[in-house]
Amino acid sequence: MSGHLPVDKTFKLFIGGAFPRSESGHTFQVHGADGQFLANAAKASRKDLRETVRAARSAQSGWAGRTAYNRGQVLYRVAEMLDARADEFVDLLRNAGRTPRAARREVEQSVDRWVWYAGWADKVHQVLGTVNPVAGPYFNFTVPEPTGVVVQAVPDDPPLLGLTSRVAPAIVTGNTSIVLSGAGSALVAMSLAEVLATSDVPGGVVNVLTGDVAALLPWALGHLDVNAVDLAGAPDDLPDEALADAAENVKRLVHGNPDDASPMLVAAFLELKTVWHPIGR
Amino acid sequence: MADEQGFDLDYAPAPESTGIVELADEYGLYIGGEFVEARSGRTFDTISPSTEERLATVSEAGAEDVDRAVAAARTAFEDHWRDTPGTVRARYLYRIARQLQERSREFAVLETMDGGKPIRESRDVDLPLVAAHFFHHAGWADKLEYAFPNRRVAPHGVAGQVIPWNFPMLMAAWKLAPALACGNTVVLKPAETTPLTALLLAEVLNDVGLPPGVVNVVTGAGETGAALVEHPGVDKLAFTGSTEVGKRIQRSAAVRRLPLTLELGGKAANVVFEDAALDQAVEGVVQGIWFNQGHVCCAGSRLLVQESIAGDFVERLHARMARLRVGDPLDKNTDVGAINSAEHLARITALVESGVEEGAVLHQSACDLPDRGFWFAPTVFTEVQQSHRIAREEVFGPVLAVQTFRTPEEAVEKANNTPYGLSAGIWTEKGSKVHWMAERLRAGVVWANTFNRFDPASPFGGYKESGFGREGGLTGLGAYVRDAGGVSR
């Protein structure tokens, strides 16, 4: 016997750049594909969600105020840090039932996707913005702007690529994100939170709440300081009433596939602002 | 009215002739290219809000009628319209634009008769923009692969479109033109107080040879609109109107995961800095709130004026509003026409009373309002607190709430202190300040040193509770095609 017992990681939540436990004190057990106990994950409460919305809201204008060049570099830094910890994520994905090859491939694709979206930071305006030839002496242009605070129910499968594919297009333009992650992705999501926490992503830009997504999502849909909800990983049996509550403050609802990669997905988390100014001497 | 030297400044009446409009006594629904009686058996009268005279009796579409209209749109979509080449769809839209230009005056007069807006506006603003909107979108119909590169462009199918009474023809154009350009068919529901121009437009659609069922018009009130919105045969919804109704529509569409565009209410701030060209700013504020009696979702209904010039500015504003001519909307000299309906007049009156009760200071221009019809004098409130209803709620009438600010930061905070986010105005001669403000105002349209400008090439739509999706330009077009990437919202 070597006398060394591995130190197991305690998984908590990721809120405003810190790693607190759930205020509720609740946890849930996460098991691997083979049924073996892996870890306890924090079970976020409605109150945790409310606190997280505050953190995401206060981080939003600062993040949106960064230059696009800077946000691009921050996302690229995420790719660097993820790549550096690739083996850890391969292990997490293998625990979730992936073959070594598939696990490696998902990590590589996720790194690639962070890099791909990093590059969109200073290009999306040129693809989605327009200068409009109005019939009069006005300079008229349309620019995209972040919609604000986005709650994202991320897919359980693929855990890392799904999380990456939803979060990166939301934050690259200056939104802040609140990730709701269920049992299938919780450990991957919290490990990615550690990557984000060490990647120059300002606190509050990405927040991760693990727990019962079906229970948290209705509160998010009804929250008046949330601008958009991403339903890519929402449970199929989400009650109609919860979806309808999104109308309470005219939320933007975003649908899509777990591993979409498209500038249209970036666009789904944007508003368009049109500015008019007279031309004259 | 006389000036200081005693010269008479009154204008002789200059009414536009209504002879150009041939009103029928009764109008049916426009379904499958024909005008048909409603199976509901119900009708309603549409009146002139400036005279309260009945103009015509209009069919009220019931659930069965809406069903028929959706079925006609579905048949047209599947039988031919979705396979009609873009070049051909373009040709129909060009034809519509041309015929509307040719019959522009007739439409303008009818719009003013049915809705109460000044003929000067329906003639010089609404109808020219309507024709321009069809003309602009005609040119998109055969260029969709360039509008949406790297995407497989496909129409949604049947679009259900519900439009308001403040710009009846213009809103019909904003809805129909992009839908048709992208290959959708449409069931359009005009507002119950202003159904007539949409029905006249239906005649034009027949005249240009648009195939039956591509556009259908179902007239009626909220019940008709609800039947259309709830109809399972509709693939895409678009609504312009109040935030209250818009939220109800979103509730329904969200559950069905139906593509939706909403253009809802607003409470726009018009921000005037001390370094603005003041007389131009006064004109802009006047244009911002009294255009179309303030029945404008993007109206500049909150004036935020820098404290250092507030007294002077409000004085200039009072002087200018005293010169506004309120009255017969068919008179070519009229600046402010009739309030659209008795019901809406009651709402404006109640909100203005709340302003007085809550302690704001009321100023109205002295004007003789006609005995018959629905009228409200141009109104300015000063000493307005943020908590006052007139500062928070959309009046949708000729009522301006004035607040002051000291710094640009305070102006931004006050301007954004609303659940709405449709439009905003900035008045300053300093270019860098224009852009600094424009960046920070949470609104879909920002007018700097101008206000209430519209163009088919310029996207229009809101942030926050003013809705989502855009109308106009390339982005507006995007609301009427499916996304191949599976992304939608």
Query: Residue A260's pLDDT band (boundaries 50, 70, 90)?
Result: confident
- B254: pLDDT strictly greater than 70: yes
* CB-closest option in A132, A240, A243 to B457: A132
Tell me: do B173 and B301 sit in the same domain.
no
* pLDDT tens-place string over residues A231-241: 999 999 999 99
- B484: pLDDT strictly greater than 80: no
Tell me: do B387 and B277 sit in the same domain.
yes
In a domain, B9, yes or no: no
pLDDT at A9: 85
d(CA A53, CA A175): 12
Q: Report yes or no: B174 and B297 within 8 Å, Cβ to Cβ.
A: no
Q: Is A133 on the interface with B (CB under 8 A)?
A: yes
Q: Is A33 on the interface with B (CB under 8 A)?
A: no
Please report the number of interchain residue pairs, chain A to chain B, with beta-carbon separation below 8 angstroms. 134
d(CA B321, CA B452): 18
- φ, ψ of residue B44 in degrees (nearest 5): -145, 155
Q: Which helix (H) or strand (E) holds B426?
A: strand B423-427
State how far residue B455 is from chain A, nearest Cα, in angstroms: 6
- B489: pLDDT strictly greater than 60: no
Tell me: do B357 and B242 sit in the same domain.
no
Tell me: do B77 and B189 sit in the same domain.
yes
**C-alpha dist (Å) from residue A198 to A121, A168, B141:** 20, 16, 49
Neighbours of A45 (CB within 10 A): 21
Q: Report yes or no: A219 and A196 within 8 Å, Cβ to Cβ.
A: no
d(CA B325, CA B287): 13
Kindly provide the ipTM of the predicted complex, given to two decimals: 0.96
Query: Would you call A276 and B488 a contact, using CB atoms and an 8 Å cutoff?
Result: no
In a domain, A233, yes or no: yes
Q: Is A9 on the interface with B (CB under 8 A)?
A: no
Tell me: do B348 and B375 sit in the same domain.
yes
d(CA B121, CA B454): 13
> Domain of A79: which CATH number?
3.40.605.10
Among the listed ranges A101-105, B145-149, B181-185, B453-457, which one has the minimum average pLDDT value? B145-149
- B45: pLDDT strictly greater than 80: yes
In a domain, B489, yes or no: no
Residue A167 token pair? 């979060």
Widest pairwise Cα distance in chain A: 87
- A154: pLDDT strictly greater than 80: yes
**C-alpha dist (Å) from residue B345 to B79, B294, B388, B397:** 46, 12, 20, 8
Neighbours of A66 (CB within 10 A): 16
Tell me: do B365 and B477 sit in the same domain.
no
Indicate the SS3 state at residue B86.
helix
In a domain, A11, yes or no: no
Q: Please state, for a pLDDT cut of 90, what percent of chain A lies above it.
A: 93
Tell me: do B275 and B260 sit in the same domain.
no
Q: Report yes or no: A154 and A185 within 8 Å, Cβ to Cβ.
A: yes
**Residues A155-172, mean pLDDT to the nearest whole number:** 96
The more confident residue out of B429 and B366 is B429
Q: Report yes or no: B60 and B221 within 8 Å, Cβ to Cβ.
A: yes
Rg for chain A (alpha carbons), in Å?
Answer: 20
Tell me: do B436 and B314 sit in the same domain.
yes
* CB-closest option in A140, A240, A277 to B449: A277
Handedness of CA A262, B442, B470, A226 (dihedral sign): positive
Q: Which residues of B touch A133 (CB under 8 A)?
A: 457
In a domain, A34, yes or no: yes
DSSP conformational letter for B123: I
* pLDDT tens-place string over residues B119-173: 999 999 999 999 999 999 999 999 999 999 888 889 999 999 999 999 999 999 9
**Residues A43-67, mean pLDDT to the nearest whole number:** 98
* pLDDT tens-place string over residues A195-208: 999 999 999 999 99
Q: Which residues of B touch A257 (CB under 8 A)?
A: 486
Residue B341 token pair? 């309906």
d(CA B269, CA A132): 24
In a domain, B8, yes or no: no
Total of domains in chain A: 1
Q: What single-letter amino acid sits at B173? A: A
pLDDT at B137: 98
Total of domains in chain B: 2
Q: Report yes or no: A212 and A43 within 8 Å, Cβ to Cβ.
A: yes
- B488: pLDDT strictly greater than 60: no
Tell me: do B253 and B314 sit in the same domain.
no
* CB-closest option in A130, A240, A250 to B464: A250
Neighbours of B305 (CB within 10 A): 28
What is the overall mean pLDDT for chain A? 96
Q: Is B75 on the interface with A (CB under 8 A)?
A: no
- A116: pLDDT strictly greater than 60: yes
Pick from B454, B21, B229, B273: nearest CA to A135: B454
Pick from B468, B432, B412: nearest CA to B262: B468
**Domain of residue B279, residue span:** 269-455
- A104: pLDDT strictly greater than 90: yes
Pick from B295, B314, B318, B294: nearest CA to B304: B314
**C-alpha dist (Å) from residue A131 to A68, A269, B267:** 19, 21, 26
Tell me: do B108 and B79 sit in the same domain.
yes
**Domain of residue A150, residue span:** 27-278
Name the packing angle between helices B431-440 and B408-416 (round to 10°): 30
Catalytic residue numbers of B?
263, 297
Q: Count Cβ atoms within 10 A of the Cβ of residue A248 and give its class: 0-12 exposed, 13-18 middle, 19 or more buried.
A: middle
Q: What angle do CA B104, B284, A270 make, to 5 degrees?
A: 85
DSSP letters, B200-265, are: HHHHHHHHTTPPTTSEEE---SHHHHHHHHH-TT-SEEEEES-HHHHHHHHHHHHHHT--EEEE--
- The contacts of residue B230 (CB under 8 Å, 6+ apart) are B252
Q: Please state, for a pLDDT cut of 90, what percent of chain B lies above it.
A: 94
Tell me: do B286 and B250 sit in the same domain.
no
In a domain, A106, yes or no: yes
Strand ranges of the sheet holding A176-181, from the earlier edge strand across to the other edge: A206-210, A176-181, A149-153, A228-230, A252-254
State how far residue B280 is from chain A, nearest Cα, in angstroms: 12
Q: Report yes or no: A179 and A207 within 8 Å, Cβ to Cβ.
A: yes
**Residues A137-162, mean pLDDT to the nearest whole number:** 97
Q: Which residues of B touch A228 (CB under 8 A)?
A: 489
- B331: pLDDT strictly greater than 70: yes
> Domain of B141: which CATH number?
3.40.605.10
> Domain of B343: which CATH number?
3.40.309.10
pLDDT at A1: 56
pLDDT at B3: 63
Q: Is B354 on the interface with A (CB under 8 A)?
A: no
Handedness of CA B426, B429, B431, B433 (dihedral sign): negative
